[in-house]
Structure 1
Amino acid sequence: MDISEVVKQTGLPPSTLRFYEEKGLIKSVGRQGQRRLFDAKVLERLSVIALGRSAGFSLAEIHSMLPVNEKIQVSRDTLLAKAEQVDSDIKRLKAVRDGLRHAANCPEQNHLECPTFQRLMRAAISRQRESR
């Protein structure tokens, strides 16, 4: 199928397909004039890329799941590790959400006088130090 058919079926712009090809995530099987041609299996690979991106995997991590031999291999350990990371992100984001709601409704005249807001600021600094 030519690149326009892949664009139509996936909704991805041609520039993304060219970028993915440049990064080795997909490959064209030839050209018809100026247009790249792809095997129908490219749709499966693009689906895995989309799923990986939505799960928060980097393109490098996704690349490791899409080896050259065309057989897609996703390590269960990698999936479990990502699930743990997502759980951690959810927990952190819930705390941020709750802090924002508290700050918006805080009865203190100044947020810096609010003990809860002060605790949130200390936690944010601690997380920033830990991430280094």
Structure 2
Amino acid sequence: MADSLDIAAVTRLTGLTARALRFYEARGLVEPLRTASGRRHYDAAALERLNLILSLKKAGLTLAQIQRLTANRRIDLHGLITAQLDHLEAQARRISDAQALLVSVKSRIDRGEPIDAETFCSLIRHEQQDTTTMSQDQWKAVTDRYFTPEEQAEWAEKMDAMTPGFDNEAYAAQWKDLGDAIKAALPMDPASEAAAGFVARWFELLKPFTQVASPAMMQGTMKMYDDMPNWPVQADPGFDSEVWAFIKLASAARLAKG
């Protein structure tokens, strides 16, 4: 087919897997051409649509939202590219501002000048922004290792079904508080009343996930946390592998008691 690429060429040139391409097709998000033998080919229109899907997904939309947004609508490639450029320009401004601030502070330190409270606040603000970005990148590296694009898409859709206005930041802080409390209490008998109390708090915090997650999703997540020491980067779920191992033992002890 003229001006089209077969699925092998698309995977080689884009870095996407054939499985991911077939998944997007099965969801009705992209429709490749077919040869007489049934082999998939992607023309410019299909690749344009695929680019849109991936851009919207990167922006945080679930596949269900993307499907509703793009159904029977012409793709505005100019608007999409403009939005991507705006996003990159905003990132560049943040980096430039942070660099200018650090250069200014370093110069004042080199001259022996004191750093005022307002400047420290600016440093803290930029550090928080950098930490948020780094945390997102770290979690992506971990989830990419343990979950396929299809499984990640399923997770995103399930999370979209959670209570409107769900505060991820506050939720992460709760996990951090609980993880720190358990860590400070170790070593502890997994069969003790104190351990049972931690287990109860743990499963109470898990409710937003257990209410929407399938058994397969929960099993995959368990395997991911079981392998925490081998994570490619040190993403922070709020607890470490020692706390995770303890909670598994304490949960088993509580279950054995009935």
What TM-score, normalized to structure 2? 0.35
Structure 1 CA distance for aligned equivalents of residues 10 and 61 of structure 2: 23
Shift of 1:38: 1.4
Shift of 1:24: 0.9
Structure 2 CA distance for aligned equivalents of residues 90 and 106 of structure 1: 25
- 1 or 2, which has the higher helix percentage? 2
Contact 1:112/1:118 (<8 A) preserved: no
How many residue pairs align between the two structures? 118
Counterpart of 1:15 in structure 2 is 19
RMSD: 4.0
Q: Is the alpha carbon distance of 1:4 and 1:86 closer, same or farther for their aligned partners in structure 2, counting shifts above 3 Å?
A: farther
Shift of 1:92: 0.6
Contact 1:10/1:43 (<8 A) preserved: no
Shift of 1:32: 6.7
**Structure 1 alignment gaps of length 5 or more:** 75-81
Structure 2 CA distance for aligned equivalents of residues 61 and 90 of structure 1: 23
Contact 1:2/1:35 (<8 A) preserved: yes
Q: Does 1:124 align with 2:128?
A: no
Structure 2 CA distance for aligned equivalents of residues 87 and 109 of structure 1: 33
Counterpart of 1:52 in structure 2 is 57
Counterpart of 2:215 in structure 1 is none
Shift of 1:95: 1.2
| SS of equivalent residue, structure 1 residue 4 | helix
Q: Percent identity?
A: 24
Q: Is the alpha carbon distance of 1:28 and 1:123 closer, same or farther for their aligned partners in structure 2, counting shifts above 3 Å?
A: closer
> Which structure has the higher relative contact order (CA within 8 Å, separation 6+)?
2
Counterpart of 1:88 in structure 2 is 167
Shift of 1:60: 1.7
| SS of equivalent residue, structure 1 residue 38 | strand
Contact 2:175/2:205 (<8 A) preserved: no
Structure 1 CA distance for aligned equivalents of residues 200 and 27 of structure 2: 44
Counterpart of 1:113 in structure 2 is 194
Shift of 1:102: 1.9
Structure 1 CA distance for aligned equivalents of residues 22 and 203 of structure 2: 45
Runs of 4+ more than 4 Å apart: 107-112, 116-119
What TM-score, normalized to structure 1? 0.59
Q: Is the alpha carbon distance of 1:89 and 1:34 closer, same or farther for their aligned partners in structure 2, counting shifts above 3 Å?
A: same
Q: Is the alpha carbon distance of 1:91 and 1:43 closer, same or farther for their aligned partners in structure 2, counting shifts above 3 Å?
A: farther
Structure 2 CA distance for aligned equivalents of residues 2 and 9 of structure 1: 11
- Cα-to-partner distance string for 1:95-119 (whole Å, 9 max, x where unaligned): 11231122112268567438x9489
**Structure 2 alignment gaps of length 5 or more:** 81-159, 213-258
Q: Does 1:62 align with 2:78?
A: no
When Rg is computed on C-alpha atoms for both structures, the one with the higher figure is: 2
